[in-house]
């Protein structure tokens, strides 16, 4: 158990819908990262927040957005869902916002878009 | 640009044998970190081991060791005395110090341990 929690574990929805994925980092970690893992794209970094502020952006679509709240939990919002958004979405956390801290991953949310 | 390559899509190894999973990387940043993660069939991503570019010694964590050859830009994972529970996907990842937030992953190696 990495100490990172993600809810829900599974999510099934239809095209065009909007969903919210939630992540709580390990105790004491200030950074939260979101990743998408799909069969054709592999593991892709989406976005990072550090202590409530956006720190870095990766391959995140405009239909996707995220935020980190004062209690440091984070939410990833996916809207206008398409079939291709079906994937495993991971949240990870690390102690700091820069440098080479190890990222610890949550169990993931498996999103299926029908 | 930073790049991670894992050239072994799949490997089969007999239980109790040692196994080496290959990883090569490319970066122009002198400061970087290399990570290995394990992903069992259940899907979670488990951190195994870390090697910093300035570390003088190869990292070890229990049965896992990292064979770090800086000049060759390789960071191979060695698992000693493999166990059935080692069957999983293994990902090599790198994070540059100057753009530290962007960790990139290789395509992974699926390791299967035979009893």
A39 touching B (Cβ < 8 Å): no
- Chain A segment 87-106 residues within 8 A of B by beta carbon are 88, 90, 92, 97-100, 102-106
Strand A109-113 and strand A10-13: pairing? parallel
Residue B33's pLDDT is 92
Give B66-102 pLDDT, tens digit per residue.
999 999 999 999 999 999 999 999 999 998 876 556 7
A55 CB neighbour count, 10 Å cutoff = 18
Instruction: Please report the DSSP string for A57-89 in residue order.
Output: E-S--TTEEEEE-TTS-EEEEE-S--GGG-EEE
- Judged by CB atoms closer than 8 Å, whether chains meet at B101 and A100 is answered as no
In this structure, are residues B10 and B112 in contact, taking their beta carbons and an 8 Å threshold?
yes
Length of chain B in terms of residues written? 115
- Judged by CB atoms closer than 8 Å, whether chains meet at A56 and B97 is answered as no
- Chain B segment 17-76 residues within 8 A of A by beta carbon are 31-33, 35, 37, 43-47, 50, 52
Is the pLDDT confidence value at A110 over 80?
Answer: yes
Residue B98's pLDDT is 66
Is the pLDDT confidence value at A81 over 80?
Answer: yes
Give B20-56 pLDDT, tens digit per residue.
999 999 998 888 999 999 999 989 999 999 999 999 8
Give B55-72 pLDDT, tens digit per residue.
989 999 999 999 999 999
């Amino acid at each position: 158990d990495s100490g990172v929690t993600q809810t829900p574990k599974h999510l099934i929805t239809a095209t065009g819908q909007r969903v919210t994925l939630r992540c709580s980092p390990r105790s004491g970690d200030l950074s939260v990262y979101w990743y998408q893992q799909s069969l054709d794209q592999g593991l892709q970094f989406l976005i990072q927040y550090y202590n409530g502020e956006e720190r870095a952006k990766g391959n995140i679509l405009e239909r996707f957005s995220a935020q980190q709240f004062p209690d440091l939990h984070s939410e990833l919002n996916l809207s206008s869902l398409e079939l291709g958004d079906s994937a495993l979405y991971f949240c990870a956390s690390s102690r700091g916002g820069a440098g080479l801290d190890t990222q610890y991953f949550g169990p993931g949310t498996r999103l299926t878009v029908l | 640009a930073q790049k991670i390559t894992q050239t072994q899509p799949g490997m089969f190894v007999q239980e109790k044998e040692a196994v080496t999973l290959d990883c090569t990387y490319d970066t122009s940043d002198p400061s970087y970190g290399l990570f290995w993660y394990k992903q069992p069939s259940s899907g979670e991503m488990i951190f195994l081991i870390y090697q910093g570019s300035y570390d003088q010694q190869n990292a070890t964590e229990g049965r896992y060791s990292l064979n770090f050859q800086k000049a060759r830009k390789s960071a191979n994972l060695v698992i000693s005395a493999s166990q059935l529970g080692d069957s999983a996907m293994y990902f090599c990842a790198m994070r540059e110090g100057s753009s530290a937030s962007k960790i990139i992953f290789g395509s992974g190696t699926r390791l299967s341990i035979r009893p």
